């Protein structure tokens, strides 16, 4: 599994990829578990194996200026917290200013807006599906006015896939 280079703007997806990769390689113990008690003459074989596994995971993730891989990742996260806020601001601004002008397909427009909402969710700024469907409707041009009125007259709210299907049909 390839992990993209950390650029700052991709911290959330980079962290998810790293966590998944380390879990699959069984190196995540250095990040998720507290250090076991120090080994003694009476330590069991299982305790010794646990120490070896943790030591190997830390050694493979060792970075200068950090004693453990967990400490290093905590430092990286602290460096990119501000970047996540800036990314959220950029995504919100892009979402609220995006309009459909008929240049690309309507499906692509809806998926682009949905993708921005999913990225915001990854930054702990979740937008409900109901709100997003209504918001996407407001991004449509005047040529969709009858379509919007018909939607507003219906009792049921559409889900994202229904919105896409109905807009493509329109």
**Sign for the pseudo-dihedral over CA of 56, 60, 61, 66:** positive
Asked if the structure places residue 87 within a domain, the reply is no
Q: How many CA atoms lie within 13 A of 147 on its CB side?
A: 18
Asked if the structure places residue 5 within a domain, the reply is no
Asked if the structure places residue 121 within a domain, the reply is yes
Asked if the structure places residue 88 within a domain, the reply is no
Asked if the structure places residue 90 within a domain, the reply is no
Last residue of a domain, one of 80, 109, 140: 80
User: What confidence score (pLDDT) does residue 108 get?
Assistant: 92
Last residue of a domain, one of 50, 80, 110: 80
User: What confidence score (pLDDT) does residue 30 get?
Assistant: 67
Structural domain total, the chain:
2
Residues 70 and 102 in one domain: no
Asked if the structure places residue 43 within a domain, the reply is yes
Residues 59 and 117 in one domain: no
User: What confidence score (pLDDT) does residue 21 get?
Assistant: 81
Last residue of a domain, one of 52, 80, 108: 80
Asked if the structure places residue 1 within a domain, the reply is no
Residues 107 and 139 in one domain: yes
Asked if the structure places residue 119 within a domain, the reply is yes
User: What confidence score (pLDDT) does residue 127 get?
Assistant: 92
- pLDDT means per 10 residues, the chain with 170 residues, are 75 79 73 76 86 74 67 78 76 93 90 92 88 93 90 85 85
* Cβ neighbours for 61, distance < 8 A, ≥ 6 positions apart: 27, 30, 68, 69, 72
Residues 64 and 15 in one domain: yes
Distances (CA, A) of 168 to 40, 79, 81, 88, 92: 68, 43, 39, 29, 25
Range of the domain at 116: 98-169
Distances (CA, A) of 155 to 69, 102, 150, 151, 169: 53, 28, 10, 9, 20
Residues 70 and 30 in one domain: yes
Residues 165 and 102 in one domain: yes
């Amino acid at each position: 599994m390839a992990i993209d280079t950390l650029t700052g703007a991709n911290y959330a997806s980079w962290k998810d990829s790293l966590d998944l990769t380390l879990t699959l390689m069984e190196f995540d113990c250095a990040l998720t578990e507290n250090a076991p008690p120090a080994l003694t003459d009476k330590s069991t074989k299982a305790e010794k194996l646990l120490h070896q596994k943790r030591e190997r995971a830390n050694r493979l993730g060792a970075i200068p200026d950090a004693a453990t891989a967990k400490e290093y990742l905590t430092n990286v996260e602290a460096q990119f917290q501000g970047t996540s806020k800036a990314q959220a601001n950029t995504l919100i601004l892009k979402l609220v200013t995006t309009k459909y002008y008929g240049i690309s397909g309507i499906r692509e427009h809806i998926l682009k807006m949905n993708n921005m909402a999913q990225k915001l969710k990854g930054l702990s700024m979740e937008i409900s599906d109901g709100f997003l469907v209504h918001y996407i409707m407001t991004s449509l041009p005047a040529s969709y006015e009858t379509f919007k009125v018909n939607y507003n007259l219906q009792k049921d709210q559409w889900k994202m896939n229904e919105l896409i299907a109905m807009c493509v049909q329109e």
